[in-house]
Structure 1
């Protein structure tokens, strides 16, 4: 079963031509399936295709993000996914503390969107077998760069002040533990 979630643009970083960002989220026995849909594709700045490998600083341009925190935990995980198919994954001990590369025995799968048609879609599978066995708090977000250089920040929820996807308020969705079917 999947659900479609609407991301909202942070009020301090309005988009020029991007009209909407949605995420279809599905759970499987081994992880999560995410499809990010961006309307306004003609204005979207997209990184060129590249090998699907761990890469730093993806958030500096168009990047789709997911944050996971096991229920009751202080630490959390951050995943970044580029339209280039590159990805990054980090573990944090607490709010922006103790960042390390998150081991990914099964790397995330990022499927590059089609160059034609609307909306632009990036499809992602993240294996969670080595992450969490119980319920999770999740934050879904996106950094969207337009061809004119405009950057907007989209998320399920935003804290007061400047955009901050790491803030606890952004972990706005609770996911039950995956079923073993």
Structure 2
């Protein structure tokens, strides 16, 4: 298990542990499991919704509330391209490609993301996110992150590491998991 750490400790982050597991199931598919361990009554999740055909659409700005994220890159060089994947616990998702650190952001049309499992209990929440893209074949580094919104509206930013003075999921020094 990989432990994600909050950027700043708060009364709520002291109640929770966030862990992740990575499964590379094929050259163009990665499954990430997120385990939020603690009293889930203190968590805020966006409401479930589907479009008219019963599919879950791509949505922007998912990071404004609880959001599970992954960042894929060739390396930890700030000037190299990378892929950002966002998945809400309600199944909404999006994927963006960047040409370098926070530059050239555009929706990535090759990626497909799905929340393939969701389990909520009083003492844990488990989410399995399936990410598919031919671009994954070229990436070697992974950053695993999450924005967690609590019942009082406060948010915490979790990552494998926080190398900067601010929470910055795009900082490639935190892309520390080798695929």
TM-score by length of 1: 0.86
Cross-structure match for 2:21: 24
Give, in angstroms, the shift of residue 149 of structure 1: 1.1
Aligned mates of 1:66, 1:45 — CA distance in 2: 20
Structure 1 vs Structure 2 CA RMSD: 1.8
In 1, are the aligned partners of 2:72 and 2:136 still within 8 Å (CA)?
A: no
Cross-structure match for 1:142: 146
Aligned residue pairs total 169
Cross-structure match for 1:76: 82
SS at the partner of 2:119? coil
Cross-structure match for 1:157: 161
Structure 2: segments with no counterpart, 5+ residues: 51-55
Aligned mates of 2:162, 2:88 — CA distance in 1: 21
Cross-structure match for 2:174: 170
**1:46 matched to 2:48:** no
**1:133 matched to 2:137:** yes
Deviation track 1:25-58 (CA, whole Å, cap 9, x = no partner) reads 1111131111111122121101111222110000
- Residues 1:9 and 1:132: Cα distance change in structure 2 (over 3 Å): same
Deviation track 1:106-126 (CA, whole Å, cap 9, x = no partner) reads x21113523434310111111
Cross-structure match for 1:35: 33
Cross-structure match for 2:109: 103
Cross-structure match for 1:179: none
SS at the partner of 1:131? helix
SS at the partner of 1:165? coil
In 1, are the aligned partners of 2:47 and 2:90 still within 8 Å (CA)?
A: yes
Aligned mates of 1:36, 1:8 — CA distance in 2: 13
In 1, are the aligned partners of 2:71 and 2:142 still within 8 Å (CA)?
A: yes
Structure with the bigger percentage of helix: 2
Aligned mates of 2:83, 2:11 — CA distance in 1: 27
Cross-structure match for 1:92: 98
SS at the partner of 2:63? helix
Q: Which moved more, 1:18-27 or 1:91-100?
A: 18-27
TM-score by length of 2: 0.87
